[in-house]
Chains A and B, each alone.
Chain A
Amino acid sequence: MKDGRAPSPSFPSEGGGSLSRGLDEVSPPPTKTGEAGKAVGIETIGMTMRFGNFTALDDVSIRVKPGSFHALLGENGAGKSTLVKCIMGFYHATSGNLLIDGFDGDVKDPKDAHAKGLGMVYQHFTLVPALTAAENLVISRADVPAVIDWAAEMKALTAFMDAMPFRVPLGEPVHRLAAGEKQKLEILKQLYLGRRFLILDEPTSVLTPDEADEVLGHVAALCKAGELSVLMISHKFREVTAFADEVTVLRRGKHVGGGKVAELSHQDMAAMMMGDAKPADPAPRAETTGETVLALTGARAADRSGLKQIAIETLQVRAGEIVGIAGISGNGQMELMEILTGQRALAAGGVTVHGVPYAATRAEERRLKVRYLPEEPLQNACAPRMSVAENIGFRSFETGRAKPRFWLAPGAMRRRAEALVADYKVKCASIDSPIASLSGGNVQRAVLSRELDGDVDLLVISNPCFGLDFTAVAEIRSRIMRARNSGTAVLLLSEDLDEILELADRVLVMADGSLVYECTAAEADIPTIGHHMGGHA
């Protein structure tokens, strides 16, 4: 939920109208689990939502028929989340109506929406990590008994699971489940609670292509069987085409198009989403050959849990080449990044840059011209409350003279920041405003401007475009490509396979802490890579 503009309560919190919430509101009993053919359909009629002067949603009418799989497309800030928040009762629409199965929905708050059979699966998991799958399911119910008879509950849960097309181990703590299993559990939870209309908010953003296809395939089958209707927010055209029946496209709060998925091409949908805005053209790939810049040999380190090992036999990145490391989140990419940034000690093996042993000290980074763009740069590469200018100055504030500076040179820092902000089109109220006040794409641009400033021999990047919209994504990718073309060695760790395939010259797959597959971009084949990502090879 990165709409940014809406002065909203943080999403899972149940904002608005909670005072009147009471037991009496649960009057229409939720449809019971296991009953077939009970999919709930919804319709919005002229839904409009204003926050002060800002119209987040402008007269949007959509119809999700019972048992249909409806996709909702739009760039960040297009009003997708505002629309679903209005449906779920987080917001009360300024005007317009919601019909549930043809009758006036009159959803007062999220609890009321749940009682009426409407459910939502959020982009981030709302499961409790330390609890088991069974405990998560039981505690999510409205009528948890004071003392829980686990034997009886397990029996009921097993029976419920047996009736479902996919299953999740009930006794495992959720933090030990893979992302795909967590996502399945989120969907199972909604079905367990008797919800028959589901909003899925980018449900596959943390899944492998195989996992995504499996989960969405099951969901689509449930829709076909008339058990469920789905409204899915997505960025991935491939999934929309493969699984959805109908699509609605929003742009700047307005309904700008839609229809049967079978009648629309990817180009049609992209054109509707972007309107007149043109994304930066992908930078051309220049022919480059260079010598090895980064080399990892026999690297061993403990992973986050301390239970498994990261083991990388050999990894080399040459100048003027982008090496992409694909993999599902949690397979050691984060640890690899930490090894390269010096945050994680190696138990064996070593890292060299230009043949020199490298331990990622500030002096070495400067001498060997190594730069980083970690994932979630606001947390991992910025001091969120310091200003944009100061954050941009982090690499350079003590340089510019023979000896490191003692006193800062605020004038020079400001001029440098102003130049970089203009060059990278960072949108900010002022370079003195805290960097935390910028949107995700602009934080990314600001950090990239800092990291790519000057000569860069090695750039290590992790998930650079996570959660950004089309235009920002295109621009950041073209910056990376330009760096490559000018002879920088780039190591790109990304969970987005499309991004790797677009940028990388060589593709490596990381699974279970090791690099398990390598191919050139030309040989890259999505199913093969997907299998290796899942560790099934």
Chain B
Amino acid sequence: MAVYHLQIVTPDRMVFDGQAERLIVRTVGGDVCILARHIDYAAPLGIGVARVTDDKGVTRVAACSGGMLSVARGEVRLIATTFEWADEIDAARAAHAQQEAEKKLSAMRKDDVDYALAEAKLKRALIRQQAKG
């Protein structure tokens, strides 16, 4: 299959820089799949599981949240807030974060300023566990 140049960056490192066949990632509008020769495209990212298939056909799963996806002239860039490969995820920590967030949410009212924050935290914890499998 045709490949394209994919870069995945987070504030603290360059996660991926190389040829890829396919990228599936969750944007605010739902999951999108980017193949080679995709039209120029830009979208803010949601919180979801991402799948990257490299030029050898190996697919890796990751938990991805926040930031932006941009396709410009065949160059694909995933500028993520967090991007963790499944094998880097600490399942116990994610489960702990989930419990913490749930506890916090149940103690909060919906119009609390931190409600959205705690909700996002819970979502991230769930996605991490989902990516871990």
Same complex origin of A and B: no
What is the interface of chain A, defined by CB distance below 8 A to chain B? none
